[in-house]
Amino acid sequence: MTGKENAQRMEKIVSLCKRRGFIFQASEIYGGLNGVWDYGPLGTELKYNLKQYWWKVVVRDRDDVVGLDGSILTLPAALEASGHVDTFTDPMVDCRTCKARLRADQLAEKNGTKQCPNCGGKDLTEARPFNLMFQTQMGASADPASIAYLRPETAQSIFVQFKNVLDVSRKKLPFGIAQIGKAFRNEINPRNFTFRSREFEQMELEYFCRPEQGMDLLAYWLKERIRFYEEIGINRKRLHVLDVPDKDRAFYSKGTFDIEYEFPFGRQELEGVAYRTDYDLQQHIKSSGKTLDYFDEETKERFVPHVVEPSAGVDRTVLALICDAYDEDSAPDEKGKMETRIVMRFHPRMAPIKCAVFPLLKNKEALVAKAREVQALLRSHMNVFYDEGGAIGRRYRRQDEIGTPFGVTIDFETLGEKGEELRDTVTLRDRDSMKQERVAIKDLVETISSKIR
Ligand code: GAP
């Protein structure tokens, strides 16, 4: 695809997200809050499905990982220890012409000179570090002792609570602590829709181990994480692994891989998988004066564990799911004329709505009653949507556009009006192939459930 085609594709995706209720700009009616987004009814379901699946495979399906739900408000001492207060910065420049504040490392150059992307001006200040953390005040007094930060990553509360979690869970190395939650960064230039936001969610695992296991576990977690993206339906061909070179890695990391996705706006990071050695725990030991070590009962050794960290962004993965799912093909309209169909090809596991239920006609009481019965039957197993408005082809199309993988139509056959053998059967339509098959109502739950688990 050309750059122009990619830009058009992205425009269509952003417009669909708003039109169908996946993602809205925050505070939109007041002009919008830059870099902050609200998820609409469908976006909320998609995000929920993603987080739930991550939690299932990373925590619940395993014996060696437990969860944590840490606070967002964080004591400065913890973030001083982690290095965020001093070094969590991006280089910033000001454009003297239009007064825009810009990220120095993202400026395009023309004839070897950096330019302002807003006005094309070349009169830029020297780059200076800008700390990305949001600061707030806790309590009624406004003295320096009341400063707190909104956490810039979920990871630090895992390190700070390492000892408590170890004591209560009685896990043996290697074991992990996982967390899903909000993080905040005062990005200089939020951009590419939700990709770089100021408020976002992370899904992070800190997997503690013996030092000699670190490199092997880094390779293990990279493989596991790639598998995860395949299992949620991301096209493997659009995923790439970047082995981050020494010069670009945090100084304490012995190895980092970025898992990248080919967004329409370019290849960008979805997740970092990093071997962080024992840096974080050692920093918190130094600063708090508390012991955050591990006693190996078998070898009788006491030591500070190392850690491998797969750290994924919820919002970036939701955006990748949406970009990956967006497709256009052709389908016949009510009169049989071919028209362009927008179809979101979400993996059924991720789809916001799993099945739509349609009575063929809304003015036939018996059809409506049966359709409501089928809706109630499916509802306790999956997210279902009932729609009786408009021609059946139009109703299918509305569901295709939001990625509902299955459609169930209740027709006169269901009522037994076209022969007893078809009574209590329905048509089950597949979103991708648009093929329809006849299925007994009693088999519906299992037929659909087996595909959405
Ligand atoms: N604990 C390690 C850590 O936070 P990171 O690479 O800064 O590492 C991890 O962030 C992931 O969080 C990224 O791969 C990305 O998916 C997500 N993320 C980071 N900054 C983001 C932002 N401004 N907007 C949306 N997602 C972001």
Over 80: is that where the pLDDT of 206 sits? yes
Question: Residue 311 CA: which ligand 1 atom is closest?
Answer: 9
Residue-by-residue DSSP string for 222-283: HHHHHHHHHHTT--GGGEEEEE--GGGS-TT-SEEEEEEEEETTEEEEEEEEEEEETHHHHH
Give residue 142's pLDDT.
Answer: 82
Instruction: Average the pLDDT over 77-82 and give the result.
Output: 98
Q: How confident is the model at residue 143 (pLDDT cuts 50, 70, 90)?
A: confident
Percentage of the chain lying above the pLDDT 70 cut:
100
Q: Which atom of ligand 1 is nearest to the CA of 201?
A: 26
CA distance 305 to 219: 18
Dump pLDDT digits (tens) for 303-358.
999 999 999 999 999 999 999 999 999 988 878 889 999 999 999 999 999 999 99
The 10s digit of each residue's pLDDT in 248-300 is 999 999 999 999 999 999 999 999 999 999 999 999 999 999 999 999 999 99
- Residue 184's pLDDT band (boundaries 50, 70, 90)? very high
Mean pLDDT of the chain: 96
Lowest mean pLDDT of 19-23, 141-145, 150-154, 275-279, name the range.
141-145
Atom 6 of ligand 1: nearest residue by CA position: 272
Nearest Cα residue to 51 out of 37, 69, 34, 38 = 69
pLDDT of residue 141: 84
Stretch 357-365: mean pLDDT:
97
Residue 93 has pLDDT above 80, yes or no: yes
Cβ atoms within 10 Å, residue 422: 17
More confident of the two residues 114 and 60: 60
Averaged pLDDT, 236-240: 98
pLDDT at 168 over 80: yes
Q: Is residue 144's pLDDT more than 90?
A: no
Q: Whose CA is nearest to atom 4 of ligand 1?
A: 153
pLDDT at 330: 92
Using alpha carbons, list the distances in angstroms from residue 428 to 182, 208, 407, 424: 39, 47, 6, 13
Ligand 1, residues 87, 316, 317, 321: which to mutate, most atoms within 8 A of Cβ? 316
